[in-house]
């Protein structure tokens, strides 16, 4: 059994590396979503969750991001970057408990205001609308983390990605790559993402047990 789990982890790690998605160290089960946390980038490599009839009326004004246990996270203070939700707060705004679960640093990455409040938010809204009639499986995060001159990984992703599957048909609805730029942050369909993270692979990730 251990050999099978190890083989699965090696396969998934290879799959993620091929897409320039940073490998993770811990799987964290937040009940409503799973965060795949990387010590190297001090945040989530990606998160995965299911969504059906997302949205609600719970007010998020009283919530602020906080750390999860003793895991380090990116210092956003005066950085110029937004705390970019991966699981959107609005998706889980039907109850205080679900909404609160989205305000952890294991559920956000540094995004430029241009991206976070622009194209990223537009697709969040569109996906939430789709969830009113379809059950969705969503995986998203940062990718293409650049290296410094000394070879160290920088903590700000060059791009962000979002893949959305229809749970009933198993078909990919979106396979998107977003530029994490200060100005003119574009978005494009990136078929390599859905080829590397297929529905079957995404479901394996979703079913993985917590390791932290």
- How many CB atoms are located within 10 Å of the residue 132 CB? 11
- Measured distance CA(210)–CA(212) in Å, rounded: 6
Domains of the chain, residue spans: 2-206
| H or E segment and range at residue 101 | helix 96-101
Q: Exposed, middle or buried: residue 49 (CB in 10 Å: 0-12, 13-18, 19+)?
A: buried
Counting every residue, how long is the chain?
212
pLDDT of residue 153: 77
Residue 206 structure tokens: 């979703």
Would you write out the chain's pLDDT as a tens digit for each of its 212 residues? 444 444 444 344 444 444 589 899 999 999 999 999 999 999 999 999 999 999 999 999 999 999 999 999 999 999 999 999 999 999 999 999 999 999 999 999 999 999 999 999 999 999 999 999 999 999 999 999 998 766 677 899 999 999 999 999 999 999 999 999 998 778 999 989 998 899 999 999 999 999 99
Domain at 2-206, CATH from 3.10.20.90, 3.40.570.10, 3.40.190.10, 3.40.640.10 = 3.40.570.10
Distances (CA, A) of 174 to 31, 111, 160: 24, 20, 13
């Amino acid at each position: 059994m251990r050999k099978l789990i190890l083989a699965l982890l090696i396969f998934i790690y290879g799959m993620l590396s091929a897409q320039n998605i940073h490998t993770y160290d811990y799987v964290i089960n937040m009940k409503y979503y799973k965060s795949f946390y990387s010590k190297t980038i001090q945040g989530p490599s990606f998160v995965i969750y299911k969504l059906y009839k997302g949205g609600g009326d719970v007010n998020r004004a009283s919530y602020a991001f906080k750390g999860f246990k003793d895991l380090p996270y990116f210092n956003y203070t005066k950085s110029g970057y937004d705390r970019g939700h991966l699981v959107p707060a609005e998706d889980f705004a039907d109850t205080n408990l679900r909404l609160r679960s989205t305000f952890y640093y294991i559920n956000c990455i540094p995004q430029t205001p241009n991206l976070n409040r622009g194209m990223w938010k537009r697709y969040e809204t569109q996906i939430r609308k789709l969830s009113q009639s379809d059950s969705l499986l969503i995986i998203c995060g940062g990718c293409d983390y650049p290296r410094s001159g000394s070879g160290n990984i920088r903590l700000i992703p060059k791009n962000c990605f979002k893949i959305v599957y229809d749970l009933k048909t198993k078909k990919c609805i979106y396979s998107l790559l977003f530029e994490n730029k200060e100005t003119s942050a574009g978005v494009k369909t990136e078929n390599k993402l859905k080829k590397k993270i297929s529905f079957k692979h995404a479901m394996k990730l979703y079913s993985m047990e917590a390791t932290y």
